[in-house]
């Protein structure tokens, strides 16, 4: 059986001298009491400066959802509010999406976000459309809210 007693506490450091970089008792830090010191103002963010990844409202990007399906997303407001582009198009043409309903891509191409390719379905109706794909083992099908 292995002896793990050496892991308990710090018995190997007991009685040892402190190393040269450790603080001594009563030591005061060089920056104690100094507030708002700026040592490299050239490299600091300026007030109101936008980050390198910032994009304007209305920008459309493509990225994967939680099921690894590629989708279009649109930034709808600041600071960082995004919505699926298909939902945005539906809301723009038909008003809000009722609770319990989802937007379905009729041709099953999640990047084809034209209004004629979108349908408002209940979750039950949506799963029934994709049931054959699921039974055949196709992946990348988004089930819980397009």
Mean pLDDT of 44-68: 89
Range of the domain at 92: 60-135
Q: Is residue 6 situated within a structural domain?
A: no
Q: Is residue 24 situated within a structural domain?
A: no
Q: Is residue 53 situated within a structural domain?
A: no
Q: Is residue 105 situated within a structural domain?
A: yes
pLDDT band for position 12 (50/70/90)?
Answer: low
pLDDT above 90 as % of the chain: 42
Residue 68 has pLDDT above 60, yes or no: yes
Inter-residue long-range contacts of 132-139, CB under 8 Å, 24+ positions, other chains counted: 133/108, 139/67, 139/68
Q: Is 73 helix (H, G, I), strand (E, B) or coil?
A: strand
Q: Is residue 52 situated within a structural domain?
A: no
Number of domains in the chain: 1
Residue 62 has pLDDT above 80, yes or no: yes
**CATH number for position 87:** 3.90.75.20
Q: Is residue 20 situated within a structural domain?
A: no
pLDDT band for position 142 (50/70/90)?
Answer: very low
Q: Is residue 25 situated within a structural domain?
A: no
Residue in 77, 75, 60 with CA at minimum distance from that of residue 111: 60
pLDDT tens-digit map of 39-48 = 788 888 888 8
């Amino acid at each position: 059986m292995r002896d793990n007693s050496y892991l308990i506490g710090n018995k190997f450091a007991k009685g040892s001298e402190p190393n040269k970089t450790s603080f001594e008792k009563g030591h005061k830090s060089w920056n104690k009491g100094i507030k708002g010191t700026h040592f490299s103002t050239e490299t600091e963010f300026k007030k109101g400066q936008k980050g390198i990844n910032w994009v304007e409202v209305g920008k459309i990007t493509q990225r994967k959802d939680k099921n690894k399906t590629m989708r279009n997303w649109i930034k709808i407001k600041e600071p960082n509010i995004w919505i699926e582009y298909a939902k945005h198009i539906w809301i723009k043409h038909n008003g809000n999406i009722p609770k319990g309903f989802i937007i379905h891509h009729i041709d099953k191409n999640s990047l084809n976000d034209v209004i004629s390719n979108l349908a408002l379905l209940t979750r039950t109706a949506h799963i029934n459309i994709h049931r054959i794909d699921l039974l055949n083992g196709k992946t990348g099908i988004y089930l819980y809210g397009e």
